[in-house]
Structure 1
Amino acid sequence: MNMTRTTNALTVRPEQGQWHPVVRARLAGKFDAIARLVSGRKSGGALEFDVIKHGHSALSLEVRSGGRRAYLKLFDTSHTDKAYRREKASLCALRDSGLVPRILAFSDGPRFILCTWSDGASELQQNIPMGPTAFARNLGKWLADLDSAVPGETACGNWYGYLQSFGASLDMDRIQVARDVLMEIPLCGRALSRNDAALQNFVTNAEGQLMGCDFDLAQMRPRGWDFVLGHIGLIERFPDRIEEVLTAYTDGFSRAHRGALIVEELNVVARILYCARALATGDTADIIQWQ
């Protein structure tokens, strides 16, 4: 096995030391099968690995064999397998949607997922894969398409009742002030949500279309939850261009969406949630990780 180009990503978590022994140990007995999948050949060949990102619970790798590339995410077995199971289930559910890199294989023992490579995969380390306005519009479209592709279920209630459940993560006085408005906005069922406000977790395919990565936080949420988180993420990422990017974001979603969600109502929920979280001096992670 040939492992090349030790990148700066290795310094993200220096306490873990070199990544080579981890990959060798965790993928032992799997190299030939991985090589066949990556290269598309019947006989396995040499594998080359480069680190893309060394995150809190997973190691993201570029894998090369036979002149072809793939993306491999190796989850930390010292953590619970929740993140691995969430990502695997999400990518399997969206396998033929064109909205995510196509899953090629997974293994529950060593906890890895192998996906097709996107030309923009190296941009996982960058902030935004295109200009702010274009990105916001494409993000809105991607979320509308995602809402049509994910599994869902019925749910009753309204956004006031739902947001009340977050407790100390939000300023409940702000939620109470907006009670009448939120009670008029119904929940339109629940759906599998990416549940991630991080705007850097996207790549672009050969046609320049967005593809979502990192579904390790995915869970069932009210329909429109990902739009709400995207709204908040754009405000925090582009504070000097809020009106511009949110207009593009809303336009992209509205043009592509075919469901029952009303984008104006989701924008209202997003503004209220943003203020309630800020007044609670909380973090987006508080509402994302809430169960």
Structure 2
Amino acid sequence: MAELRFTKGHGTGNDFVLVADPHGELDLKPSDVARLCDRRFGIGADGLLRAVPTSAEPLAPQGTAAAWFMDYRNADGSTAEMCGNGIRVFTAFLIEEGLVELPAGERLPIATRGGVMTVQRSGTGYVVDLGRWTLGPDDVAVRIAGVDVVRPGLSIDVPNPHVVVALADDEELTGADLSGAPVLDPAPPTGANVELVRPEDPLVDDDGVARIRMRVHERGSGETLSCGTGAVAAALATRHWAGRGAPDEWRVTVPGGVLGVRMFPAEDGEHVALSGPAELVYTGVVDV
């Protein structure tokens, strides 16, 4: 049995176990990840982030400027394309471990299964450019425990797959039971995170920023206090429903805090950025 040094961190309550693998030698099986993330018998987390040099990870995209690859695993040990809260915490971890430097105004590229993302410091922590997003079908039927009728969902990839559902009122948002996964029809082949959204009243405040509230069920993790790419998908979906004239600046309130979302033009199309805090809580050693 080997010892594993780890750090526990979170972004708006979305929490992670972080481990450094500077030589690409750490072989964590799905069962290992599930045990480490178990809240009763392990450290407890929504997922695990392994920091490995891009050059030492065969699955990482090669030929990029990103020196580090973020290997993200869900709490059940399965893999995901990206993690919006996780990549901010991952950046804070790399800095704390002395693996990178990120001066104010500089950009740090990080490789993920969903592509290379760039991270900068911000007033609330970090902001990450998630790149282009993709609008999918709007005819997904979503059955949610605790919600009386089936609701239509809108599919959005950023790059994780999401299905966003607008609810009628605050009672539906708080009363929805996300202890189990909502049932999607048709079911996405690789599953999807499901976001339940309730726009604030008014949607757009005097400062021109739109505001929504959100809860989320993440594939492989269950209901979490926050989901970064889910907040982005929720803002994109609500802007889509609001139509022409809807703002590009959003504040998304999740059970664990508040995240910022901004849509902006780029050479290859519209990009979307996510901003929010990243906290490192403690460091320890565990047997694996």
What is the TM-score with the length of structure 2 in the denominator?
Answer: 0.29
Instruction: Choose 1 or 2 for highest CA Rg.
Output: 1
- Considering fraction of residues, name the structure with more helix: 1
- Considering fraction of residues, name the structure with more strand: 2
What is the TM-score with the length of structure 1 in the denominator?
Answer: 0.29
Higher relative contact order, structure no. (Cα contacts within 8 Å, ≥ 6 residues apart): 2
